[in-house]
Amino acid sequence: MSAEQATSTFKHAGNKCEGTAEVPSTSAKRIVFFDLDGTLHQQDMFGSFLRFLLRHLPLNLLLVVPLLPVIGLGLLAGGRCARWPMSLLLWAITFGRREAHLNDLELRFVNDFRQKVTEFPVVVMRLRQYLESHDVQVWLITGSPQRLVEQVYHDSTFIHRLRLVGSRMARRHGGWVLPLRCLGPEKVVQLEQRLGSPLKLYSGYSDSKQDNPLLYFCEHRWRVSKSGELQQLE
């Protein structure tokens, strides 16, 4: 498959906040969302995964390097939240590799990442407080692949008590791709599909301005600093 064919394929292969001053709602469940990377923990899970794959599949750089200008232009034109450029990058990194080998690398990454991940205690404590409230529905919505998140946090005390939405990976055209990249405005789309439109959220937590489209629908908005501290937004 040529770089031009690959680019064309991936362009068209897409998928169709609280503090001491907050007063609990009494009418219905409060809906709260948390981002993951840079919010509940410090690291970028998907970025770490891509770098891990490249270290273990160095020959695929022969395909990745020629496609970098196309990927870069795609991100420049579509923004950092664009799906197909990152899908193309993932495909180039994994193209031609057996599924069993990729699955083995995925498991090795999960075990490695679990040893290195650094949680932000203040944000995790806030998450746990919400989970203990009977009138709160908690959503964890992330740009990292959902199956990676499920594996990394499979034995955590919170992952099975919330609703998780993440990006999706699948095998197509001889490698892995992203049929869904749950980032930026796509987070709004995904929650609207599950909760209805317009969204009415009680509180939202994120480290990134990319989540501003979702924070817009929150009564209380919280920004997480690089050190894991919380700052309430206006």
Q: Indicate the range of 7-11, 109-113, 140-144, 145-149 predicted with least confidence.
A: 7-11
Check residue 10 and give its pLDDT: 56
| Helix 45-56 / helix 99-116 crossing angle, nearest 10 deg | 130
Cα separation of 205 and 118, whole Å?
Answer: 17
CB under 8 Å, gap of 24 or more: what pairs does 144-151 form?
A: 144/36, 144/37, 144/44, 144/45, 144/46, 144/49, 145/45, 145/46, 145/49, 145/169, 145/178, 146/182, 148/45, 148/46, 148/49, 148/106, 148/109, 148/110, 149/36, 149/45, 151/106, 151/107, 151/110
Quickly state the pLDDT bin for 9 (edges 50, 70, 90): low
Cα-Cα-Cα-Cα dihedral sign, residues 40, 222, 214, 75: negative
User: Residue 214 — very low, low, confident or very high, per pLDDT cuts 50/70/90?
Assistant: very high
3-233 CATH fold: Rossmann fold (3.40.50)
In the numeric block, which tokens belong to residue 166? 């993440």
Q: How far apart are alpha carbons 224 and 210 in whole angstroms?
A: 13
- What amino acid is encoded at 184 in this protein? G
Q: Could you tell me the pTM of the whole model?
A: 0.88
Query: pLDDT of 158-171, one tens digit each?
Result: 999 999 999 999 99
* Angle (nearest 5°) at CA 228 between 222 and 229: 55
Position 28 scores a pLDDT of 78
Say yes or no to pLDDT of 85 above 80.
yes
Scanning the structure block, which residue is given the tokens 């894991």?
A: 228
Read off the pLDDT band of 14 (50, 70, 90).
low
For residue 2, is pLDDT > 80?
Answer: no
Range of weakest confidence among 10-14, 104-108, 226-230: 10-14
